[in-house]
Amino acid sequence: MHNADGPAAVTDDERRAFVAEAMAFLEANAERRVRRTRFVWGEGPDELGLMGGRDEGDEDARLAAARAWRAKVFDAGFGWLGGPVAYGGAGRSPELDRVYRSLEADFDVPDQGAWGVAWEMVAPAVLAHGSEDLKRRFLRPIHRGELLCSQLLSEPEAGSDLAGLKTRAVRDGDEWVVNGQKVWNSYAHKADLGQLMARTDPDAPKHKGLTMFLLDMASPGVDPRPLRQMNGNAEFNEVFLTDVRVPDADRVGEAGTGWSAVLTTLMSERAAVGSGKTASSVDAPSMVVELARHLDRAGDPLVRQELAEVVTHQRLIEWLTARSESAVAAGRERGAEGSIVKLVSSRQNRRIADLAARLLGPAVTADSGEWGTYAWARYLCSTPGLRIAGGTDEIQHNILGERVLGLPR
């Protein structure tokens, strides 16, 4: 239930009733994951990648399975529990979305990771800044899994200075004509919808002349080209935009107010990246502890100190994430705390990767076939990317200094 001050807290009785309802749906439609009662070195997967999915198998088939599962979840009433009824949500407490995700994690269902941009980043911007028409046209399909989204924000020459983008959108009647180039666009080669930032007023101060649009990725003039990363993945792209026409009805907010809309996206993205929602399927903090034990290094005082730092910071990330999500559940937009989560998380990734590399030595660079050794190579090659995703560490420091500590620019 919602009230004037935001969503009401879920009572114990409501939570128990919801868990029973959700479990009945999951038991009827999916198989439980086989959970190991204790960790055994060498058993199960040792996949330790970050930043997206794997290349093996048929990508189209995986995405189709994810779409079908999400539609089933949504139609059963569990797809957007905290969303407004008018836009396709269930009108219940956002807390129940987290409860459902924790329950679903115990079942073998298609990977929904490709839709993280849609649910965690694009949808919040549309809900907070979009017109009534946009909300009604796009929010339900996004949360039902019908629309795979990609962010078209970063540019080759802008670096971390998103407001320095050069892609231009020029008004032509009821449309805008867009020309420019974007980069680091997750799943742009498969996406249905792009969250596009463009400069619409070149004479205004750089933060004031920007506008956000929702772009049909099948539009003429949209040319995505995959980029292969050093971790072996290719879910990122560069996107060339040549005389692309976007209806004015697909503009998010008033022209020139795109910076406010993109801040909603960036704060949501930082919280998602920092919380580990984009992380690997294996628990890397626990895995590095077991690696030290396997190599008989857990008794080394210096190694034990580093392991303690890993465990401590993992708890900090969990608590910071819970605090951030509680604020959202109370009806507030994400603030600078997203930068805290993201910054602590990127440091944690480097801490884990560096420790694993020191423990393994050359074994991390050569695939000997031994379980739990070369698997760390992909994790090690992915950690630099997470320093950049959602804004570099330097940008997070600036945000915290200016907006939290009140320091001068």
User: CA 196 to CA 152: how far, in whole Å?
Assistant: 5
Calculate the average pLDDT of the chain: 86
| Single pTM value for the model | 0.78
Residue ranges of the chain assigned to CATH 2.40.110.10: 149-258
| Active-site annotation holds for 337 | no
In 90-247, alpha helices (H)? 95-104, 116-117, 123-129, 132-134, 140-143
Task: Name the architecture of domain 279-404.
Answer: Up-down Bundle (1.20)
Q: Which CATH number fits domain 149-258: 2.40.110.10, 3.60.40.10, 3.20.20.60, 1.10.10.60?
A: 2.40.110.10
Mean pLDDT (whole number) for 127-156: 95
Q: Residue 209: what pLDDT?
A: 94
With a cut of 80, say whether residue 230 has pLDDT above it: no
Catalytic residue among 269, 306, 325, 337: 269
Band the pLDDT of 36: cuts 50, 70, 90: low
Task: Output 128 or 271, whichever has higher pLDDT.
Answer: 128
Whose CA is closest to 96, among 199, 187, 192, 11?
11
With a cut of 90, say whether residue 211 has pLDDT above it: yes
Residue ranges of the chain assigned to CATH 1.20.140.10: 279-404
User: CA 172 to CA 154: how far, in whole Å?
Assistant: 25
Mean pLDDT (whole number) for 75-86: 95
Task: Output 64 or 157, whichever has higher pLDDT.
Answer: 64
- Rg (Cα) of the chain, in Å, rounded? 22
